[in-house]
Structure 1
Amino acid sequence: MEIKIRLLENEDLHEYWKSGFENPDKDMFYYTGTTNYPSKDEIKKFIENSIIDEERRHFLICNKEDNILGEVVLMDIDNEYRSCSFRIALFNKENFNKGIGFKATKEVLKFAFRDLNLHRVELEVFDYNPRAKSMYEKCGFKEEGIKRDALFINNEFHDVYIMAILDYEFKE
């Protein structure tokens, strides 16, 4: 599937809410460790804050018709240490296993290393999401450690893998 990424804008509120949060895909919430369901007003404030946050670049993943499929975010951008954190979510399980997350991740890593001149991008992935962990490894992320029983969701503790990629490890 052909995709594009673009920065989130205030004008995206309605489509962003509709595609990801009005009738949320429970699998997406589970795989991202999300336990609360935000209101439209909370999403509006979130968008407003994301846009002005100098330590964040919030991209939407869109198809060629500009429909929102998900999001990919660089956050906690630290220019001094040239590092940031990364997260991604596809809003509907119908879009899983189609290469969308892989393509979006590669595009945002290109932006992180080329445009922001970062050295390190790190993420966390949960032990019950081996599909995502495998995709991150395919993109070049390496496992650096495990936070044991660090997530409590659905009345169970889960391990959290810490992964990162360095600028010289990134291959376009």
Structure 2
Amino acid sequence: MEITLHVLQEKDAQELFQFETDNQGFFEKLVPSRGDSFYVFENFVSRHRELLKEQSEGLANFYLIKNVEGSILGRINLVDIDKHNQTAEIGFRIGAKYGGKGIGSRALNLLLKTDLRLRRIYGKTTTINPASQKILTKNGFKEVGIDKEEFEMNGQHMSFIHYLWET
């Protein structure tokens, strides 16, 4: 399946909201919930505009992962961009219907091939999310630590695993 990355725009709010609500249960099995208020459209639109403001200020880059038909398959983001130190944090979410097809790995590979002007990218995922661990390591991220502190989510105990990508 061919994929492309699209810079997040204001016009994406409705389609992205639908993607997030369609995948809420799936995402919340793997990562902490964004909270019920995230899934109220008016709140989502307000947050969407805040993200676009961050992006316009150069503090973050938000991308939608789309197929050739233009449907959203996932999202991938660089946040907390520090231009002085040339660092950022990576985050990504692949929809439930598209997991296990290499989409996350290909999207991260596409992102890393852009002119990032970054020396280091930090990532993290939970110890119960082997798919995200694989996406990161397949794209050159090295595991640099596991939080000693555990937390419980959906009846499972887990920690965060931290990763680093360097040029």
TM-score (norm 1): 0.88
Over aligned residue pairs, what C-alpha RMSD do you find? 1.5
What is the count of residue pairs matched by the alignment?
Answer: 162
Q: Give the partner amino acid of 1:31.
A: L
Correspondences of 1:152-171 after superposition (within 5 Å): 152-167=152-167
**Aligned equivalent of 1:43:** 44
Structure-2 separation of matches of 1:17 and 1:121 = 27
Runs of 4+ in structure 1 deviating by more than 3 angstroms, as ranges, are none
Q: Give the partner amino acid of 1:83.
A: T
Task: Render the CA deviation track for 1:129-159: whole Å, top value 9, x for unaligned.
Answer: 1122122111111000111234432244311
Task: Render the CA deviation track for 1:98-141: whole Å, top value 9, x for unaligned.
Answer: 01000111111222xxx231000111110001122122111111
**Aligned equivalent of 1:170:** none
Structure-1 separation of matches of 2:26 and 2:88 = 26
- Name structure 1 gaps, 5 residues minimum: 168-172
Q: Give the partner amino acid of 1:45.
A: S
**Aligned equivalent of 1:108:** 111
Task: Render the CA deviation track for 1:56-101: whole Å, top value 9, x for unaligned.
Answer: 101001111111111000000001110000000012x220010100
Aligned pair 1:77/2:78, yes or no? no
Aligned pair 1:97/2:96, yes or no? no
Secondary structure of 1:165's counterpart equals strand
Contact 1:148/1:158, CA 8 A, preserved across alignment: no
TM-score (norm 2): 0.90
Q: Give the partner amino acid of 1:2.
A: E
Correspondences of 1:135-146 after superposition (within 5 Å): 135-146=135-146
Offset at residue 43 of structure 1 (A): 1.4
